[in-house]
Amino acid sequence: MEKKKTSALAATIGIAMLLTNSQGALAAGATTTKSTTNPATKQTTTTVHTLANLQPVKISAKSTASLTDVNILTLDEESILTYTLTIKNGDGKTLDLLDYWSKVKTASGTKYSTTLMTKDKDKKKLSAGSSTTLTFVAKVGKNTKISDLVFQVIKWDFSQTGYESLKGQFKIPASYLTSTPANQSKTLKVFDTPVKAKVNQVAAFASGDYNYVSVGLNLQNIGYKIFEDPKVKFVIKTASGASYPLTADPTSSDYKIQPQDNKTLNLMTKIPKSIKLDKMELQLVQDDETAKLSLPIATMQLPSVANKSLAIEANTDKFISIGNGKIAVRVNGASMLQSFDEHDLSIRVVLRNTSGTTVKIPKYQFDLQTSDGYRLPIDSQVIDNLSLQPLEEKTISFNVTIPANVSAVDPQLFMSLPAAEDVKDSFSYPVGIFAMPEIQSMQNMIGQQQFVQTSQGLVGFKLSSLQRLPWSDSDLVSARITIYNPSFKTILLPELTGQLKVDQAKLTSDSKLITTQSVGLLGGNMSTDVYVISKVPNYLDFSQLQISLLQKVGESTSEWMQFSHAGAVPQLSTIANGETYSIDTEGHKEGIRVLRSFVYNGAGSDLIYTDLEVTNKEDHQIDLSQFARFLSSIWGSNLQGYGQSD
Over residues 243-256, the pLDDT tens digits come to 899 988 877 888 89
What's the CA gap between 307 and 204, in Å, rounded?
5
Question: Are residues 266 and 335 part of one domain?
Answer: no
Residue 168 confidence class, pLDDT cut points 50, 70, 90: very high
| Cα-Cα-Cα-Cα dihedral sign, residues 264, 268, 273, 274 | negative
Q: Which residues of 173-209 are buried (b: 16+ CB within 10 A; e: fewer)?
A: beebebbbebeebbebbbeebebebbbeebbbbebee
Closest CA to 68 of 84, 55, 79, 57: 84
Question: Are residues 73 and 149 part of one domain?
Answer: yes
What's the CA gap between 232 and 287, in Å, rounded?
7
Q: Is residue 180 part of a domain?
A: no
Our CA dihedral for 574, 579, 581, 584, rounded to 10 degrees, sits at -130
Closest CA to 333 of 399, 404, 432: 399
Question: Are residues 124 and 220 part of one domain?
Answer: no
SS3 at position 545: strand
Question: Are residues 109 and 145 part of one domain?
Answer: yes
The residue from 401, 423, 441 where one domain ends is 441
More confident residue, 630 or 413: 413
Question: Are residues 626 and 586 part of one domain?
Answer: yes
CATH of the domain at 153: 2.60.40
DSSP codes, 450-498? EEEEETTEEEEEEEEEEEEEEETTEEEEEEEEEEEE-SSS-EEPPPEEE
Q: Is residue 31 part of a domain?
A: no
Q: Is residue 238 part of a domain?
A: yes
| 15 CB-contact burial (10 Å; exposed 0-12 / middle 13-18 / buried 19+) | exposed
What's the CA gap between 349 and 399, in Å, rounded?
11
pLDDT per residue over 429-462, tens digit each? 788 899 999 888 777 778 788 887 777 778 888 8
State residue 45's pLDDT score.
Answer: 54
Q: Beta partners for 300?
A: 180, 282
Question: Are residues 405 and 387 part of one domain?
Answer: yes
The residue from 272, 301, 330 where one domain ends is 301
Q: Is residue 561 part of a domain?
A: yes
State residue 421's pLDDT score.
Answer: 60
Q: Span 531-551, mean pLDDT?
A: 85
pLDDT per residue over 121-155, tens digit each? 999 999 999 999 999 999 999 889 999 999 999 99
Q: Is residue 572 part of a domain?
A: no
What's the CA gap between 254 and 299, in Å, rounded?
23
Domain count, the chain: 5
pLDDT per residue over 354-394, tens digit each? 999 999 998 899 999 888 878 899 988 888 888 999 999 88
Domain that holds residue 369: 318-441
* Side chain identity, residue 128: A
What's the CA gap between 221 and 225, in Å, rounded?
8
Question: Are residues 334 and 419 part of one domain?
Answer: yes
Q: How far is CA 374 from CA 136, 207, 406, 435, in A?
A: 47, 7, 8, 15
pLDDT per residue over 485-514, tens digit each? 988 888 888 888 888 888 777 776 678 888
Q: How far is CA 8 from CA 1, 14, 17, 258, in A?
A: 11, 10, 14, 60
Q: Is residue 312 part of a domain?
A: no
State residue 222's pLDDT score.
Answer: 94
Question: Are residues 194 and 159 part of one domain?
Answer: no
Question: Are residues 54 and 159 part of one domain?
Answer: yes
Question: Are residues 399 and 369 part of one domain?
Answer: yes
Q: Decide: pTM greater than 0.75.
A: no
Q: Is residue 48 part of a domain?
A: yes
The residue from 257, 275, 301 where one domain ends is 301
Say which range, 53-62, 87-96, 260-269, 469-478, has the weakest mean pLDDT.
469-478
Structural Rg of the chain based on CA atoms: 39
State residue 103's pLDDT score.
Answer: 95
Question: Are residues 434 and 512 part of one domain?
Answer: no
Average pLDDT, the chain: 82
Q: Is residue 32 part of a domain?
A: no
CATH of the domain at 399: 2.60.40.1470
Residue 43 confidence class, pLDDT cut points 50, 70, 90: low
pLDDT per residue over 211-229, tens digit each? 889 899 999 999 999 999 9
State residue 551's pLDDT score.
Answer: 81
